[in-house]
């Protein structure tokens, strides 16, 4: 595996999910005009970007997956009640993107036990 491929995998699996959730929290702060909740969301992600810890990545991945699933349930409840607008479809897209990012955050530090001949 070459260096360029390793760098690309690191960005996709470790850095991109944290940046996605940071941008989502900033969007939340702008839309709600609230500061405390986005700060609570952003601080662990910034620490995770700096520290790059496997256990912290897994804990944050589970935490954000549960939060994303909660938002999905809330959106589905509103859709069942008939409050569907174009914004809800965009919200569903962001929920599925959030689920993918939380899975990437959880599996970002997967270690391979068997190395191929080129990796050795």
Smallest CA-to-CA distance from 118 within 11, 12, 3, 14 is with: 3
pLDDT at 4: 66
Say how many C-beta atoms besides its own lie within 10 A of residue 104's C-beta.
Answer: 19
Q: Do residues 61 and 106 make contact, with C-beta atoms less than 8 angstroms apart?
A: yes
pLDDT at 114 over 60: no
- Rounded to a whole number of angstroms, the CA Rg of the chain reads 17
* Arithmetic mean of pLDDT over the chain: 80
Q: Is the dihedral of CA 10, 103, 87, 67 positive or negative?
A: negative
Q: Which two tokens stand for residue 76?
A: 């589905």
Higher-confidence position of 17 and 12: 17
pLDDT at 120: 46
Any residues with CB less than 8 A from the CB of 65 and at least 6 apart, and which?
A: 99, 102, 103, 106
Q: Which two tokens stand for residue 39?
A: 């700060």
Q: Give percent above pLDDT 70 in the chain.
A: 85
pLDDT in tens, 28-82: 788 777 778 788 888 888 888 888 888 888 898 899 899 899 989 988 998 889 8
């Amino acid at each position: 595996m070459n260096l360029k491929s390793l760098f690309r995998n690191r960005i996709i699996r470790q850095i991109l999910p944290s940046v996605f959730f940071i941008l989502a929290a900033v969007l939340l702060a702008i839309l709600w005009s609230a500061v405390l909740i986005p700060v609570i969301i952003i601080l662990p992600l910034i620490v995770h970007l700096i520290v790059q810890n496997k256990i912290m990545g897994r804990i944050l991945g589970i935490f954000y997956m549960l939060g994303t699933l909660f938002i999905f349930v809330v959106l589905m409840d509103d859709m069942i009640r008939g409050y569907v607008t174009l914004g809800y479809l965009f919200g569903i897209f962001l929920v599925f993107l959030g689920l993918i990012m939380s899975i990437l955050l959880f599996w970002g530090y997967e270690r391979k036990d068997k190395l191929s001949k080129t990796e050795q």
